Chains A and B, each alone.
Chain A
Amino acid sequence: MERKVFIEPVARVEGHGGIEVFVEGNKVKEVKIDIFEGPRLMEELVRGKLPEEAVSITSRICAICFLSHRLSDIRAHERALWVEPSEKTKLLRKLAHYGEMIESHSLHYYLLALPDYLGYPDAISMMKAFPKEVKGALELKKYGNRVMEIVAGRRVHGENMRIGGFGALPSDEDLDWIATMAHSLIPEIERGLALWAKIEIPDYMEEKTTFASVWPEDGSYGFAADTIKISDGTELPADEYKTLTNEYVAPHSFAKRCRYKGKPYTVGALARMLLMSERLDGEAKKWFKKYYNERWWKNPHYNNIAQAIELLFCLEKIPALVEAIKKADYYEAGPSRQSGSGTGLVEAPRGLLIHHYEIEEGRVKDSDFVIPTTQNLDDMEKYIRIAAQNLIDQGAEELELPLEMIMRAYDPCISCSVHLVRVRR
């Protein structure tokens, strides 16, 4: 008997994708994650443009993590052109980055992922049973958006963060509001964290994998660096990112795929937390210790709780960060050269993001963008294959929801992952 499970579109993700599972008798023959989102040829769009034009164009790769794209793009240009931004610029970027993490994680953890585990089609339907949690999620999301609006100019595609500085600096009143609100929202996220204890985490896909994330040089748990850390102990300088990513094209997807040493790997909140847990402190560390177990290394569902812990981490860090920003000096930094190459590494909410540029005479000559979801696709397919086989062996009737939940746990960003394909010849 042949059977084909086809889930399309996958709901509650950003962008348009599908899952195809081919089953023969009782054996899963093939699993494919189809990426339908059309090509946008971003690397071609920035060719010949000025660096600041490239920054505005590439932030359009994605809406939900536009800010990470922008930061990664700015970092790459600043490294290529030897721009040394002021302390205040660096700290404000960090604050904006926390804002994006809060907005994106609260949207994904509460509104896109939790409905699955609690048995609802969406968050609005959860309102009756979990009114405080859903309202709290919307408050957190709104706060993250407001932080981005204040620092980066808009909730989506804000233009205020520039190469070398800012268009305009936020006022002290706005910064104080950000600090006060961060403190007052901590109970909201703790309520959300407590919810996780009620959830039984499925185990039908478990297998160890490799993880990768940024590795901040200052020893902190962070979202930007010039070094990549891999769970086999390897540390790579930013410019050697291709040792990790090794991209290739698959015919069923406009998004490219990545393999490290021939094997799939995972990036995202789970990777960050597993690689940098020693660097956590405060309440975030307590919650990590409460929920952590060995299964985190082999089960992508834990990415959801890792995101929730990061939400708390960001809220806890913001008040001191705001104080440091207010004290720091600001200047607008310019380029020290007009030609060169540079790599910008940051963590988007859904994982390691890499922008690379070659600039010649102040114009973009070449570029390369490696996206978190691109890196996660092969591991997603692997886990879906294992889950499908185990579920069939157990005689499960329904495959669709459990498989979709695995894909959703990765918080995939399909818009991002597309058009970022390049064939090397």
Chain B
Amino acid sequence: MAKPKIGIYGLTGCAGDQLNILNCEDELLKIFDIFEIKSFVMASSAADEESSLDVAFVEGSVSTEKDLEHLKEIRKKAKILVAIGHCAVYGGVQAMFMGQEWEKMYRRVYGKKNAVTLTKPLPPKPLAAYVKVDAVLPGCPIEKEPFLKLAGLLAKGVIPRHPDFPVCAECKWKENECLLLKGEICLGPLTNSGCGAICPSLNIPCIGCWGPIEKENWEAEAFLLKEKGFSTGDIVKRFSIFGGQERAEKLKKFLESKEG
């Protein structure tokens, strides 16, 4: 069987997901052996952008016209497109604000709308806002174990689904004391698993960096936090960091309607 041809790409983000691929020090040579790597600009200057790909891994959010063009080119040549990392799957922390709010912020930072003429900036969005995404691996950043599992399955022609249970489950398996019940804003019950509940295991509340799970019960968590004495503003702010503006606004309306 011919080696699957893959490309690893980055749009706007911190490059942490590509870095965590390079951080598979023990497995790196094997990855280069199992796959034929056509493009991995962060690691090599020998790129072949003409070839079609079996799998493209893309990290980063679409934040400029150039990002968007690049993504469309990748989509065209890849059989399977995998969004890796929070930015590609959910838009990243930069997707905390959208619409008019984002435009105001942009002007505050860059002075005027056209101060930078290189390419047109766009409000940051995940890949799926523009193209079909075949598989996702969330995480800020992605972790080594889930990535290797994903890559292994893809090499065998399987398109895996990210498991839809929360960090809270991983945390229970570790028998950690519950931080939410101790009165901290822990987003473990609402956040995608995969990290192994690293932060709560270090006595640090989950900030939600693997993004919201599909069937999240945010009403229940929001109520619990209200009961613990947190203000609507503080709860909404915390939810928005890795959960995006839309979800935060829904939460805000919900909490305000209950208060009213």
Q: Is chain B found bound to chain A in the same assembly? A: yes
In the complex, whether B92 has a CB less than 8 A from a CB of chain A is yes
Q: Are A421 and B109 in contact (CB under 8 A)?
A: yes
Q: Are A57 and B45 in contact (CB under 8 A)?
A: no
Q: Are B116 and A253 in contact (CB under 8 A)?
A: yes
Q: Are B42 and A13 in contact (CB under 8 A)?
A: yes
- Among candidates B17, B45, B124, B241, residue contacting A38 with C-beta atoms closer than 8 Å: B124
Which residue of B has the minimal Cβ distance to A103? B23
Distance of A88 Cα from B104 Cα, bound (Å): 43
In the complex, whether A16 has a CB less than 8 A from a CB of chain B is yes
Q: How far is the CB of A165 from chain B (nearest CB, A)?
A: 11
In the complex, whether A34 has a CB less than 8 A from a CB of chain B is yes
Q: Are B23 and A138 in contact (CB under 8 A)?
A: no
- Among candidates A39, A61, A62, A166, residue contacting B63 with C-beta atoms closer than 8 Å: A39
Q: Are A423 and B45 in contact (CB under 8 A)?
A: no
Q: Are A122 and B46 in contact (CB under 8 A)?
A: yes
Identify the interface centre among A39, A48, A155, A421: most chain B CB within 10 Å of its CB: A39
How many B residues touch the partner, as a band? 35 or more
Distance of A123 Cα from B37 Cα, bound (Å): 14
Q: Are B124 and A40 in contact (CB under 8 A)?
A: yes
In the complex, whether B15 has a CB less than 8 A from a CB of chain A is yes
Give the dominant DSSP class at A's interface.
loop
Q: Are A167 and B202 in contact (CB under 8 A)?
A: yes
Q: How far is the CB of A161 from chain B (nearest CB, A)?
A: 10
- Among candidates B28, B67, B237, residue contacting A53 with C-beta atoms closer than 8 Å: B237
**Contacts A11-B45, A48-B237, A60-B92; A38 near B121 (Cβ below 8 A):** yes
Q: Are A167 and B204 in contact (CB under 8 A)?
A: yes
Q: Are B202 and A153 in contact (CB under 8 A)?
A: yes
Task: Count residues on chain A whose CB falls below 8 Å from chain B CBs.
Answer: 71
Contacts of B141 in A (CB 8 A): 63, 154, 156-157
Q: Are A57 and B241 in contact (CB under 8 A)?
A: yes
- Among candidates A34, A41, A49, A153, residue contacting B94 with C-beta atoms closer than 8 Å: A41
Q: Are A62 and B26 in contact (CB under 8 A)?
A: no
Contacts of A127 in B (CB 8 A): 29
Q: Which residues of B170-223 have CB atoms within 8 Å of chain A's CB atoms? A: 198-199, 201-204, 207, 209
Distance of A139 Cα from B234 Cα, bound (Å): 43
Contacts of A154 in B (CB 8 A): 141, 198
Contacts of B106 in A (CB 8 A): 39, 41
Which residue of A has the minimal Cβ distance to B67? A38
In the complex, whether A36 has a CB less than 8 A from a CB of chain B is yes
Distance of A156 Cα from B198 Cα, bound (Å): 12
Contacts of A201 in B (CB 8 A): none
Contacts of B234 in A (CB 8 A): 50
Q: How far is the CB of B170 from chain A (nearest CB, A)?
A: 14
Contacts of B146 in A (CB 8 A): none
Distance of A48 Cα from B20 Cα, bound (Å): 31
Q: Are B28 and A423 in contact (CB under 8 A)?
A: no
Q: How far is the CB of A410 from chain B (nearest CB, A)?
A: 16
Distance of A231 Cα from B200 Cα, bound (Å): 45
Q: Which residues of A226-263 have CB atoms within 8 Å of chain B's CB atoms? A: 249, 251-254
Q: Are A40 and B94 in contact (CB under 8 A)?
A: yes
Distance of A111 Cα from B21 Cα, bound (Å): 14
- Among candidates B11, B28, B111, B124, residue contacting A249 with C-beta atoms closer than 8 Å: B111
- Among candidates B28, B44, B66, B198, residue contacting A36 with C-beta atoms closer than 8 Å: B66
Distance of A20 Cα from B32 Cα, bound (Å): 32
**Contacts A11-B41, A124-B32, A157-B209; A64 near B63 (Cβ below 8 A):** no
| Interface contacts beyond A111-B22, A254-B118: sample of 7 additional A-B pairs, CB < 8 Å, sorted by A | A38-B121, A39-B12, A40-B94, A249-B110, A252-B117, A421-B109, A423-B111
10 contacts between A and B (CB under 8 A): A12-B41, A35-B118, A38-B121, A40-B124, A63-B16, A154-B141, A156-B23, A159-B199, A252-B116, A253-B118
Q: What residues make up the interface of A, taking CB atoms closer than 8 Å to B?
A: 9, 11-16, 34-45, 48-50, 53, 56-57, 60-64, 66, 107, 111-112, 115, 121-125, 127, 138-139, 141-142, 145, 153-160, 162, 166-168, 249, 251-254, 404, 415, 418-419, 421-423, 425
Closest 7 CB pairs of A and B: A38-B63, A63-B16, A423-B111, A122-B44, A38-B12, A121-B46, A11-B45
